Structure 1
Amino acid sequence: MENVKNRWLIAASAVGIHISIGSVYAWSVYTKPLMNQFQWGLKEVSFTFSIAILFLGLSAAFLGHFVEKHGPRKSGTLAACFFGVGTVGAGLAVTLGSLPLLYLCYGVLGGIGLGVGYITPVSTLVKWFPDRRGLATGLAIMGFGFASLIFSPIEAKLISTVGIANTFFILGIIFFILMFASARYLAPPPQGWLPEGFKQKVESGEKKLAVDLSELTANEAVKTRRFYLLWLMLFINVTCGIAILAVASPMAQEIARMTPATAAAMVGLMGLFNGLGRIGWASFSDYIGRPNTYTAFFSIQLIAFFLLPSISNALFFQLLIFLIMTCYGGGFASIPAYIGDLFGKKQLGAIHGYILTAWAAAGLAGPIFASWVRETVNSYSLIMYIFAGMFVVALAISLLIRLDIARLRAKLETARAQG
């Protein structure tokens, strides 16, 4: 008998990669130390993070075919090399006091590692978990969301004890080892493999094996309307979520009259709810379906963003923010499973890469738009109402895509009847 790998260890390997690259969300820990050491401005230091997220989106899009062609082991190793070298290179940039080198190493090289590492485990996990597709992708992407909670205190401690450059050197080596080791275990399941208990239920007729609505290549997928509907849904969800992340503390102080310390504590907890939303919503989507999950995201956030400007009670304000964060994280974690439902597993990684360009675009658009509106009208209320309006559009799109799904199901039923 063929020695089949343990799918839960495959999931753990995926988490290992995502926890490493998710440390990018703890970038703000470096901000003040870098500003103090080199007298660089806030915009100059923060631009490193923007470059990294931009190249995450670009590399996910352009290297998605590499992931599909060469498999998760090689692409995971490539991600380990880029992210590890990029982080160590950031240490060299700090040693030399070179901002352009920091942009090149952490922003460009690290960003490429981010993009390849982000999509590498996803299509593999979907194949290992035909019975719990949402749970599988949610587990890995949860690691990305929780990483800032894990690495922020570690980075702060290291910076205070060994300095900024050595922190980059130490973490770069740790990230490389963890990602490289995780990539070595990643592999797709044997052809036609099903989990033992699930296989018996399918054979007995107790359970039906879910059939994807189509099996398309990435190039075929981008020619369909449903691809762009998915792209727009993710773009709106991420734009509003990232904007909230960017302005949460000052907005809480202005609207809910929270103290700076309480607002800072709220921002820390937002990371927790971001991570919980990834595993919670993605797992729940296995039961209620991906179309219902996204309709729920947009309905909840439409109401939450509309209510936020009028909430002066600090506790209720925070509850709404945390609810929004679960939907923000859940949107990331549920999208790979939705892609699998609509386009199949043939080139899921490459299609996921194309869809993630919505993240790159939103990462630039969200914070810039929120800051511009705040400076123009001197109020966060208008921003919240605009975002509520955007979720009306997103809700309409989540209902419109159901027409495509219904048409595909009808086509599939007709083919079954004829075959």
Structure 2
Amino acid sequence: MTADPTATHGTGSEHRSYREVTDAHGRVYRIGETDRDILGHSRKLMVYLPWIAMMAISVFEYAYGSAEDTLSHAHGWTQSNTFWILSIWVFFQAGIAFPAGWLRERGILPARAAMCTGSVMCLVGFLALSHLDNVWLAILGFGLVGGLGAGLVYATCINMVGKWFPERRGARTGFVNGGFAYGSLPFIFIFNYAFDTANYNEVLDLIGCYILIVVFACALFFKDPPKNWWPEHIDPLTHSGTQKSAASLAKNPPAVRQYTPKEAIRTGMLPLMWISIVMTAGVSIFGISFQVDFAKQVGFGPLVAASSMGVMAVINGVGRAAVGWMSDRWGRKSTLVFVIVVLGLAQFGVIWAGDAKSEWLFLFFAFLSGFGGGAFYPLFAALTPDYFGENFNATNYGLVYSGKLVSGLFGGGLGSMVVGAWGYNGAYALAGAVSMVAAAIALLLRQPGRGEEVAAASPARSAS
């Protein structure tokens, strides 16, 4: 394949030349433009800004469990009501990823517009949680509107990183994804120690305003790279360049071509990823929803209960960054299987700690549960473009991530039913077993097209 060597990209009097090269599989890479040519600054900003925005919205999911008791007393809700509000939030937070990705890939919903819209919807969600006593209206406001808003922000941030760092996306994606967990730490302690029926309105209103301001400010600088863009310091044909990037590409080679969503589904790998994330995310959401309540039932004090959730949130976030770095060196699939197994073992460990009435054991397995319960998200986020390419990543990852909408139902709402029927020990044992099955499914993942002969493939060459 050849390209016009005089092709330009830009507006006004500014013109930036680029060329396209094609590898042996027929995949096209657009090289020649630097990140500064396109953005006016380093692409590192497309890591830090999404990270900040993810920290802002983390309060929705990871701090909610610490606020449930006060919300129940303030609004007259049952425990089941509060669990289902979170479950509905998870459903819509995950469910918006695919349609938002579809709109983004077609230029209908630019990244900035998605972020700004999401920030306003997040504010509406917290205002609803603060001022609406009717549980159905709270579900509509916090669960539906707030869930859609947080989902727009989450999906946009994750896809932004994947597009700008195609050569070493594991560490960057993990770093950004980590903010979605440990960003909630201050709010976990606020909800446990400074949140009651006398001040809940003010606290929730201020949190909503905080999210609006932070996310909206970050959104002003969001911008996608051109289709097929590749950093000029890495040769896309030989993967030669910096040592770290070359090592990462050797373990995680780029997708053989750009797969549309229909093509990705037909490979069979995207459905396997979807099933695995359904099961793994369900176990993770179960732990987030019930860990504080389980700690209190066992007889641990409020400090241990709050600290266990704080430990889970911090390790959940730090673990996401750590496994992103690990996956660049070990390979994405191997790291993913390891993480899911750790998550499963942690569920059985929580049972052991509860039976032994050991606070230190409980905190240790909260540590492991937090690590496993968050680390798989950036791995799936990085694995999707590794398998199917960057051009349709917003849509393809939206399909994979949509598995979380099913997880939200059985991890939170249905999880509460299992706890009621089998007790916490039975529910945690079931969660551990589900995680092990998910790890077995992850072992079946293979990069589509890698190693296969490409019919009529022409020798790789660059435009002259």
- How would you bin the TM-score normalised by the shorter chain? 0.7 to 0.9
> Bigger shift: 204-213 or 164-173?
204-213
State yes or no: 1:220 paired with 2:263.
Answer: yes
Matches within 5 A, 1:11-90: 11-25=47-61, 26-70=63-107, 71-90=110-129
Partner of 1:236: 279
Aligned amino acid, residue 203 of structure 2 = T
Shift of residue 288 of structure 1? 1.0
Q: Deviations over 1:38-95 (max 9, x none)?
A: 433333344332222121122223322123233312221221232233334544x34x
Shift of residue 126 of structure 1? 1.3
Aligned amino acid, residue 334 of structure 1 = L
Shift of residue 107 of structure 1? 1.8
Partner of 1:293: 335
State yes or no: 1:410 paired with 2:451.
Answer: yes
| Closer, same or farther: CA 31–244 of 1 in aligned 2, 3 Å | closer
Q: Deviations over 1:339-371 (max 9, x none)?
A: 011111111112222222221211211244544
Q: What is the rounded CA distance, in whole Å, between the counterparts of 1:153 and 1:378 in structure 2?
A: 27
Is the Cα contact below 8 Å between 1:29 and 1:156 reproduced in 2?
yes
Q: What is the rounded CA distance, in whole Å, between the counterparts of 1:396 and 1:135 in structure 2?
A: 24
Partner of 1:390: 434
| Closer, same or farther: CA 6–63 of 1 in aligned 2, 3 Å | same
Structure 1: give runs of 5+ residues left out of the alignment: none
Is the Cα contact below 8 Å between 2:89 and 2:147 reproduced in 1?
yes
The one of 207, 223, 226 aligned to 1:171: 207
Partner of 1:211: 254
Q: Deviations over 1:309-342 (max 9, x none)?
A: 4453543443233112211110112111010111
State yes or no: 1:134 paired with 2:170.
Answer: yes
Is the Cα contact below 8 Å between 2:188 and 2:309 reproduced in 1?
no
TM-score by length of 1: 0.85
| Closer, same or farther: CA 298–416 of 1 in aligned 2, 3 Å | farther
Shift of residue 298 of structure 1? 3.1
Shift of residue 150 of structure 1? 2.8
Q: What is the rounded CA distance, in whole Å, between the counterparts of 1:13 and 1:306 in structure 2?
A: 37
| Closer, same or farther: CA 392–317 of 1 in aligned 2, 3 Å | same
| Closer, same or farther: CA 345–42 of 1 in aligned 2, 3 Å | same
Is the Cα contact below 8 Å between 1:14 and 1:182 reproduced in 2?
yes
| Closer, same or farther: CA 314–178 of 1 in aligned 2, 3 Å | closer
Q: What is the rounded CA distance, in whole Å, between the counterparts of 1:188 and 1:238 in structure 2?
A: 28
| Closer, same or farther: CA 140–365 of 1 in aligned 2, 3 Å | same
Q: What is the rounded CA distance, in whole Å, between the counterparts of 2:192 and 2:359 in structure 1?
A: 28
Partner of 1:357: 402
Structure 2: give runs of 5+ residues left out of the alignment: 1-15, 17-36
Shift of residue 389 of structure 1? 3.1
Is the Cα contact below 8 Å between 2:66 and 2:292 reproduced in 1?
no
What secondary structure sits across from 1:411 in the alignment?
A: coil
What secondary structure sits across from 1:401 in the alignment?
A: coil
Q: What is the rounded CA distance, in whole Å, between the counterparts of 1:24 and 1:245 in structure 2?
A: 12
Shift of residue 292 of structure 1? 0.5
Is the Cα contact below 8 Å between 2:38 and 2:225 reproduced in 1?
no
Q: Deviations over 1:273-320 (max 9, x none)?
A: 111111111221111111111121233344444555445354344323
Structure with a larger share of its residues in helix? 1
State yes or no: 1:122 paired with 2:158.
Answer: yes
Shift of residue 244 of structure 1? 2.5
Shift of residue 149 of structure 1? 0.7
Q: What is the rounded CA distance, in whole Å, between the counterparts of 2:379 and 2:351 in structure 1?
A: 29
Aligned amino acid, residue 292 of structure 1 = S
TM-score by length of 2: 0.77
Is the Cα contact below 8 Å between 2:54 and 2:179 reproduced in 1?
yes
Is the Cα contact below 8 Å between 1:235 and 1:361 reproduced in 2?
yes
Q: What is the rounded CA distance, in whole Å, between the counterparts of 2:424 and 2:206 in structure 1?
A: 43
Shift of residue 203 of structure 1? 6.0
What secondary structure sits across from 2:96 in the alignment?
A: helix
Q: Deviations over 1:98-153 (max 9, x none)?
A: 44433222221111101111101222211222332012211221111123213334
Is the Cα contact below 8 Å between 2:98 and 2:394 reproduced in 1?
no
Q: Matched residues, percent identical?
A: 24
Shift of residue 36 of structure 1? 3.2
Partner of 1:270: 312
Aligned amino acid, residue 82 of structure 1 = M
Shift of residue 373 of structure 1? 4.0
Shift of residue 157 of structure 1? 8.0
Is the Cα contact below 8 Å between 1:298 and 1:394 reproduced in 2?
yes
Count of residue correspondences: 411
